[in-house]
Structure 1
Amino acid sequence: MNASDLYALGERFNQNRTLLCFNGPISRSLIEEIGNALKNYLNAEHARPAEAMDVFSVYIEMIQNIRQYAALNGDVDASATVVIGRRDDSRYVVSAGNLVKDEDGQLLVARIRELAALDKPALKVEYKQQLHKPRTPGVASGAGLGLIDIARRAGAPLEASLTPAAGAGQAFFSLSVVI
């Protein structure tokens, strides 16, 4: 990337009110460092404590889901794209994405659309039902409590997309959460 491209990228980040952006393999230590940077940004922006906790919790849940999915599928890199920014109405937007098997992505997008159609009381009921479902140790529950918790913290319906990727049978899954 040359200097003028970097300037244009910085300008785009400013226009989109991007606070934090990361793209690449994500390790536990990097998750922690990004989390610390996020806390510092939220403190500098004087975010309300409850709002800051929601933004941080959603970031952690999303990135942990990406790492767990990668581990279950033998992907040691666990690459992700994470963007956290502000909207004009002073809400925060946490977005994250990663490569997934196309069929997994389709199921996930369908589940997110189901959750996006629920109001807060219905999400609470869904959460309690999921909480009481039996779990098999060592088997991923897929779009379970964590995703429902994200939907409960969101200030708007969740938005998900699936974009075909260069790999056979792969797609890039993206989730955006407004807080």
Structure 2
Amino acid sequence: MESIDLFGLREHFNRGRILLCFNGPISRSLIEEIGNALKNYLQADQARTSSAMDVFGVYIELTQNIRHYAASRNYDELAGSATVVVARDENGGYIVQAGNLVEACDGVPLLERVRALAAMDKAQLKAAYKEQLRKPRAADAASGAGLGLIDVARKSAAPLAAALSPAGEGRAFFSLRAVI
């Protein structure tokens, strides 16, 4: 392994106002531990209670979605890894970003769903949320891009942003950004 310039990495994180960064295999217990660290940081940062709850809720939703997706695809540890970043923006808000490998055929419709949600205003997101709540759900239905994603869009102070980068072998890296 080549040497990592930790000081340069630290400076990069500081310039980007990155509070928390994780890259690697993600388990239920790790989601919980990072979530506890995030809660403690938000408390120390004196974040408004509503903002802190939204940041934490978005972090949990995104990381659990990654974990469930990786399990549903029987990905190994490397393929099922997550990249998660929580940062401050220049206006004092919080940015929660998360990404993972997906099958390219799953990533395209997910990207389209995020773009559709990003085009909605608050009233339309509320209506979409209520509509999704009323939809019957089959016991064997796969989860994904439903109520949780709409909830993330509702909590976001700016339209959701997503990207899909080709990763080879029929896979892509999907990333999602929410501003709280």
TM-score under structure 2 normalisation? 0.95
Q: Which residue of 1 aligns with 2:85?
A: 83
In structure 2, C-alpha distance between the alignment counterparts of 1:70 and 1:155, rounded to whole Å:
28
SS at match of 1:84: strand
Q: Which residue of 2 aligns with 1:153?
A: 155
Q: Contact 1:135/1:141 (CA < 8 Å) preserved in 2? A: no
Deviation for aligned residue 1:2:
2.3
Runs of 4+ displaced beyond 2 Å: none
SS at match of 2:12: helix
Identity level (%) = 62
SS at match of 1:136: coil
In structure 2, C-alpha distance between the alignment counterparts of 1:158 and 1:50, rounded to whole Å:
19
User: Deviations 1:98-153 (Å, cap 9, x if unpaired)?
Assistant: 00011111110100000000011110100011111111113214200000000000
In structure 2, list runs of 5 or more residues that go unmatched: none
Q: Which residue of 2 aligns with 1:48?
A: 48
In structure 2, C-alpha distance between the alignment counterparts of 1:110 and 1:61, rounded to whole Å:
19
TM-score under structure 1 normalisation? 0.96
Question: How many residues are matched?
Answer: 177
In structure 2, C-alpha distance between the alignment counterparts of 1:22 and 1:170, rounded to whole Å:
21
Q: Contact 1:94/1:178 (CA < 8 Å) preserved in 2? A: yes
1:120-139 aligned at under 5 Å gives the runs: 120-139=122-141
Q: Which residue of 2 aligns with 1:34?
A: 34
1:104-115 aligned at under 5 Å gives the runs: 104-115=106-117
In structure 1, C-alpha distance between the alignment counterparts of 2:33 and 2:169, rounded to whole Å:
33
